[in-house]
A and B are shown apart, each in its own frame.
Chain A
Amino acid sequence: MFGLIKELRKSGVLGINQRNADFILPYNQRRLYPLVDDKIATKDLAQRHGVAVPQLFGIIEIQREVSLLPALLAQLNEFVIKPANGSQGEGITVIAGRTRDLFRRADGSLVNIEELKFQVSNILSGIYSLGGQPDRAIIEYRVKFDPVFERIVYRGVPDIRIIVFLGVPVMAMVRLPTRASGGKANLHQGCIGAGVDIPTGQTLSAVWKNMVVSEHPDTGNEVSGVQIPHWEKLLEIAARSYEMTGLGYQGIDLVLDQELGPMLLELNARPGLNIQIANREGLLPRLESIKKQKFSSVQERISFSRKHFGSLRP
């Protein structure tokens, strides 16, 4: 066991205790959390900084407004319902189309309007929010993902997670929904995470449920070696997110829409550590090397990142 601890230290693997004690607590001020915990605030912030976000169709704030849901959804065929303060991708419903008066979820199952209303009520009562606080429900544009991912995604929207430390993109991965994850892009829920080589924007090997895989379990297609479009733009949004929120250590979730290009999905003040497994590399050495630098511009931070944070594995 101690041998394993030593090896993990040598590989610079960041553990959850160290992430909290050495990065989140010192670099992320508590008062900035609402900016990223509340997805409505994040949307606002991003738009003021000229970053594209999925269009907001409506917000439901109180129980009484739940009865307005059918009217709100009348014109919409595809949309996403999510809690404004949700955590770990919980409480998100993705509607991909309609069949008569029923709604078709991204995983193909059908729901009626009553079930959607109940879902919204649950969101409002705070079931999915951090600390069980009363919450708001967001209804927003469902991203039509870039065809480049068509072959390696099973029913869902793949997203790109970039860890940003002091404005420098540190590590990146794409999360590819699987049948097991129910169309959700969350590693906890069983989606694939594939590391992304920062200099080139090409996917590396992937992990699925803590195993290293090279093919998508549902489509059988090669996951690694895929070039992510708009990579430079994605890196720039990531680097600029530091000025946007002021959080020193954050995870930024981006999606690529086939028409609208890169969009900011959400920000995370306590990003998970699985990105290390997806990249098969520890975060610590990269984070430490950033601590020693002084940067004067966003461009400088990006070029530092692209120069030094290439994958060590072919």
Chain B
Amino acid sequence: MSRRHLTILCSVLVLAGLVVTVYRWLILDFPLLPQERASTWRVEVQISFEAKGAPVKAALMLPQNRIGMTLLDEHFISRGHGLSTESDPENRRAFFTKRNANGSQTLWYRFLVHQNLSREITPKILAPRQVESSGLSGVELAAAQELAKELDSYSADDRSLVRLLFSRLKNPQIGGKEALLLGGGVYSRSISRAGVAVLRVARIPSRVVNGLALRPDRRSARITSWIEIFDDDKWSPFNPETGRFLSPENHFPWWRGNEPLLSVVGATDPRTEIAVRETLVSSLETAIKEGRLKSDPLLTLSLFGLPLQTQEVYRLLMTVPVGIFLLVILRNVIGLRTFGTFMPVLIALAFRQTELLYGFILFSTVLGIGLMIRFYLEYLKLLLVPRLASVVVVVIIVMTFISIVSYKIGFDRGLSVALFPIVILAMTIERMTVVWDERGAKEAIVQATGSFAVAVLCYLLMTNELVKHWTFVFPELLLVILAAILALGRYSGYRLVELPRFKVLSRRD
């Protein structure tokens, strides 16, 4: 049956449209609302060291793209230093090298990071083949072994062991094993390092994570450390600060392991200065940049792949189906009568450029003058096509005249009259005179008002920010609109205007 066929077709269209939309929204991060801003952070690292005339090699840890966190822009200012980067599964490094450097050297590294906190931060990394060595020796190794044994007897599983270990590391007793392992430091970095060493002795795969807090405007931000243990086939973060198995809030992981952020060979006094600043990049821009990095096929298929000029045209064009959909409802469900099927949508398009009030004034002026001239032509008894052609010419003359006069008197809006579709206007004038002749002025004015009301409704819908945003950012929604229009093609209910007409037929008994 054709009805079933149509149902299936519509369902497929709706499904396809929605799936692609949801994909764009959730995976490609295209914002659902216009002007939604994503938190994007600009991080600037200033590196400085004192060179002593010997060859210098400075290694800087670099952040990596991970799920839920994307680097959008990366810049190095290496100032005469050779620059190379290398990466392994855990980390990425940049090397600045120079054969002959003297005096104070300052280099910069800057990047833009976009973090999506709604996503799981921990990357899925293959299980470690074996527990890495703790790197401890001598008395420290003995202390770590003793501590591990002790903790093991107090705890039920790895997780409780981790919690216990860090609560003890945070409150070391002077002269105790913990203080020995910490080596005097009580910063998060030394706590994490000591903890990981003990955990490795206890045969629990673990590592240090060094990250940065993303908070507004921090001139000199500090690197914070937390740890990750391998548990349940994945790396789980543990924050020694809070004692919970969660990454610290608003932190993004920069690099992993015990290495410092900057290590320098051949120079002294290495320093890093980190500045963090929140920048408001529209989330659309962010999504597009991220998508480029992922080189997603749906992005290359999106309207953003077009030249800017063409994009503007499509911004306009993509709203037309929405207007047409409204027109279908107004005509087939409500039952409004208009001049020409799609005339109101085209007028609404013109209103987009002229704005409603001026659009209305200009439109009625052109229509009014056109009608007067058309009635005069009626008196000349011309044939249809030449008559229509003369109306077109007259419409153009009237429009030119309005433009020139309004410009002269300093009313710039009048210039936008040129945006009205001339032929549509001429056809409207022609249709209106025929209706005027055949059915009287009243019917002609009723239909003109109807057309105009529909045009205004279409205009309001087509200029709605949400509609503009959705149709352009999620063009696949056109499939959903198409499905709705197809479905309305089989709508067999009453039109609203039929109700009063058939009211005498309603059976009240």
B-contacting residues of A (Cβ < 8 Å)? 1, 4-5, 7-8, 10-11, 13, 15-18, 20-22, 63, 90, 114, 118, 121-122, 125-127, 188-189, 207, 210, 212, 273, 276-277, 280-282
Pairwise interchain contact B495-A8, C-beta atoms closer than 8 A: no
Complex contacts, A125 vs chain B, CB 8 Å: 383-385
Complex contacts, B490 vs chain A, CB 8 Å: 21
Pairwise interchain contact A5-B492, C-beta atoms closer than 8 A: no
Q: Please measure, in the bound complex, the distance between the C-alpha atom of A218 and the C-alpha atom of B349, giving whole angstroms.
A: 48
Pairwise interchain contact B502-A122, C-beta atoms closer than 8 A: no
B287 to chain A, nearest CB (A): 42
Pairwise interchain contact A4-B503, C-beta atoms closer than 8 A: yes
Complex contacts, A122 vs chain B, CB 8 Å: 384
Complex contacts, A276 vs chain B, CB 8 Å: 502, 505
Q: Please measure, in the bound complex, the distance between the C-alpha atom of A8 and the C-alpha atom of B499, giving whole angstroms.
A: 8
Most chain A beta-carbon contacts within 10 A, residue among B493, B498, B501, B506: B506
Q: Please measure, in the bound complex, the distance between the C-alpha atom of A188 and the C-alpha atom of B337, giving whole angstroms.
A: 14
Q: Please measure, in the bound complex, the distance between the C-alpha atom of A7 and the C-alpha atom of B503, giving whole angstroms.
A: 9
Complex contacts, A17 vs chain B, CB 8 Å: 332, 491-495
B322 to chain A, nearest CB (A): 22
Complex contacts, A282 vs chain B, CB 8 Å: 505
B504 proximal to A (CB < 8 A): yes
Contact mask B377-391 → A, CB, 8 Å, 1/0? Answer: 000010111000000
Task: Write 12 A-B pairs (CB below 8 A) sorted by A numbering.
Answer: A1-B499, A13-B502, A15-B502, A17-B493, A18-B492, A21-B489, A21-B491, A21-B492, A114-B381, A126-B384, A188-B439, A282-B505
Q: Please measure, in the bound complex, the distance between the C-alpha atom of A18 and the C-alpha atom of B493, giving whole angstroms.
A: 6
Partner of B505, one of A21, A118, A281: A281
Pairwise interchain contact B506-A4, C-beta atoms closer than 8 A: yes
Pairwise interchain contact B332-A11, C-beta atoms closer than 8 A: no
Q: Please measure, in the bound complex, the distance between the C-alpha atom of A121 and the C-alpha atom of B505, giving whole angstroms.
A: 42
Q: List 4 tightest A-B contacts by C-beta distance, closest first.
A: A125-B384, A18-B492, A7-B506, A15-B494
Contact mask B198-221 → A, CB, 8 Å, 1/0? Answer: 000000000000000000000000
Q: A7-B506, A280-B504 are in contact. Are A63 and B383 (CB under 8 A)?
A: yes
Pairwise interchain contact B384-A22, C-beta atoms closer than 8 A: no
Pairwise interchain contact B494-A8, C-beta atoms closer than 8 A: yes
A77 to chain B, nearest CB (A): 25
Q: Please measure, in the bound complex, the distance between the C-alpha atom of A210 and the C-alpha atom of B383, giving whole angstroms.
A: 37
Complex contacts, B405 vs chain A, CB 8 Å: none
A178 to chain B, nearest CB (A): 15
B378 to chain A, nearest CB (A): 10
B408 proximal to A (CB < 8 A): no
Q: Please measure, in the bound complex, the distance between the C-alpha atom of A169 and the C-alpha atom of B506, giving whole angstroms.
A: 23
B309 to chain A, nearest CB (A): 36
Q: Please measure, in the bound complex, the distance between the C-alpha atom of A276 and the C-alpha atom of B498, giving whole angstroms.
A: 12
Partner of A90, one of B385, B438, B493: B438
Complex contacts, B507 vs chain A, CB 8 Å: 7, 10-11
A-contacting residues of B (Cβ < 8 Å)? 332, 335, 381, 383-385, 434, 438-439, 489-495, 498-499, 501-508
Complex contacts, B503 vs chain A, CB 8 Å: 4
Instruction: Given A20-B492, A121-B381, output 19 extra A-B contacts at Cβ < 8 Å.
Output: A5-B493, A5-B494, A7-B507, A13-B502, A15-B493, A16-B335, A18-B494, A21-B491, A114-B381, A118-B381, A125-B383, A125-B385, A188-B439, A207-B504, A210-B501, A210-B504, A277-B501, A277-B502, A280-B504
Complex contacts, A18 vs chain B, CB 8 Å: 492-494
Closest residue of A by beta carbon distance from B489: A21
B7 to chain A, nearest CB (A): 14
A248 to chain B, nearest CB (A): 16
A143 to chain B, nearest CB (A): 22
Most chain A beta-carbon contacts within 10 A, residue among B332, B495, B505: B505
Pairwise interchain contact B492-A277, C-beta atoms closer than 8 A: no
A2 to chain B, nearest CB (A): 10
Complex contacts, B335 vs chain A, CB 8 Å: 16
Pairwise interchain contact A277-B506, C-beta atoms closer than 8 A: no
A23 to chain B, nearest CB (A): 10
Complex contacts, A277 vs chain B, CB 8 Å: 501-502, 504-505
Complex contacts, B505 vs chain A, CB 8 Å: 8, 11, 13, 276-277, 280-282
Closest residue of A by beta carbon distance from B386: A125
Complex contacts, B384 vs chain A, CB 8 Å: 122, 125-127
Q: Please measure, in the bound complex, the distance between the C-alpha atom of A16 and the C-alpha atom of B381, giving whole angstroms.
A: 37
Q: Please measure, in the bound complex, the distance between the C-alpha atom of A8 and the C-alpha atom of B508, giving whole angstroms.
A: 10
A205 to chain B, nearest CB (A): 10
B451 to chain A, nearest CB (A): 18
B509 to chain A, nearest CB (A): 10
Q: Please measure, in the bound complex, the distance between the C-alpha atom of A22 and the C-alpha atom of B490, giving whole angstroms.
A: 9
Complex contacts, B508 vs chain A, CB 8 Å: 7
Complex contacts, A20 vs chain B, CB 8 Å: 492
Closest residue of A by beta carbon distance from B387: A125
B411 to chain A, nearest CB (A): 37
A213 to chain B, nearest CB (A): 11
Q: Please measure, in the bound complex, the distance between the C-alpha atom of A278 and the C-alpha atom of B86, giving whole angstroms.
A: 88
Q: Please measure, in the bound complex, the distance between the C-alpha atom of A218 and the C-alpha atom of B503, giving whole angstroms.
A: 25
Pairwise interchain contact A22-B499, C-beta atoms closer than 8 A: no
Q: Please measure, in the bound complex, the distance between the C-alpha atom of A11 and the C-alpha atom of B493, giving whole angstroms.
A: 14
Most chain A beta-carbon contacts within 10 A, residue among B335, B495, B504, B508: B504
Q: Please measure, in the bound complex, the distance between the C-alpha atom of A5 and the C-alpha atom of B505, giving whole angstroms.
A: 11
Complex contacts, B495 vs chain A, CB 8 Å: 15-17
Q: Please measure, in the bound complex, the distance between the C-alpha atom of A192 and the C-alpha atom of B335, giving whole angstroms.
A: 23
Closest residue of A by beta carbon distance from B384: A125
Q: Please measure, in the bound complex, the distance between the C-alpha atom of A4 and the C-alpha atom of B384, giving whole angstroms.
A: 44
Q: Please measure, in the bound complex, the distance between the C-alpha atom of A210 and the C-alpha atom of B332, giving whole angstroms.
A: 21
Complex contacts, B492 vs chain A, CB 8 Å: 15, 17-18, 20-22
Q: Please measure, in the bound complex, the distance between the C-alpha atom of A121 and the C-alpha atom of B503, giving whole angstroms.
A: 41
Q: Please measure, in the bound complex, the distance between the C-alpha atom of A7 and the C-alpha atom of B495, giving whole angstroms.
A: 15
Complex contacts, A11 vs chain B, CB 8 Å: 505-507
Pairwise interchain contact A8-B502, C-beta atoms closer than 8 A: yes
B469 to chain A, nearest CB (A): 33
A89 to chain B, nearest CB (A): 10
Pairwise interchain contact B491-A5, C-beta atoms closer than 8 A: no
Q: Please measure, in the bound complex, the distance between the C-alpha atom of A212 and the C-alpha atom of B506, giving whole angstroms.
A: 13
B334 to chain A, nearest CB (A): 11
Q: Please measure, in the bound complex, the distance between the C-alpha atom of A121 and the C-alpha atom of B382, giving whole angstroms.
A: 9
Complex contacts, A5 vs chain B, CB 8 Å: 493-494, 499
Complex contacts, A212 vs chain B, CB 8 Å: 504
Complex contacts, B491 vs chain A, CB 8 Å: 17, 21
Complex contacts, A118 vs chain B, CB 8 Å: 381
Complex contacts, B506 vs chain A, CB 8 Å: 4, 7-8, 11, 13
Q: Please measure, in the bound complex, the distance between the C-alpha atom of A212 and the C-alpha atom of B384, giving whole angstroms.
A: 40
Q: Please measure, in the bound complex, the distance between the C-alpha atom of A158 and the C-alpha atom of B492, giving whole angstroms.
A: 32
Q: Please measure, in the bound complex, the distance between the C-alpha atom of A121 and the C-alpha atom of B385, giving whole angstroms.
A: 11
Q: Please measure, in the bound complex, the distance between the C-alpha atom of A11 and the C-alpha atom of B502, giving whole angstroms.
A: 10
Closest residue of A by beta carbon distance from B506: A7
Q: Please measure, in the bound complex, the distance between the C-alpha atom of A21 and the C-alpha atom of B438, giving whole angstroms.
A: 29
Complex contacts, B498 vs chain A, CB 8 Å: 15-16, 273
Q: Please measure, in the bound complex, the distance between the C-alpha atom of A118 and the C-alpha atom of B493, giving whole angstroms.
A: 43
Complex contacts, B383 vs chain A, CB 8 Å: 63, 121, 125
Most chain B beta-carbon contacts within 10 A, residue among A8, A121, A281: A8
Q: Please measure, in the bound complex, the distance between the C-alpha atom of A295 and the C-alpha atom of B275, giving whole angstroms.
A: 91
Q: Please measure, in the bound complex, the distance between the C-alpha atom of A1 and the C-alpha atom of B494, giving whole angstroms.
A: 11
Complex contacts, B504 vs chain A, CB 8 Å: 207, 210, 212, 277, 280
B84 to chain A, nearest CB (A): 71
Complex contacts, A189 vs chain B, CB 8 Å: 439
Q: Please measure, in the bound complex, the distance between the C-alpha atom of A4 and the C-alpha atom of B498, giving whole angstroms.
A: 11
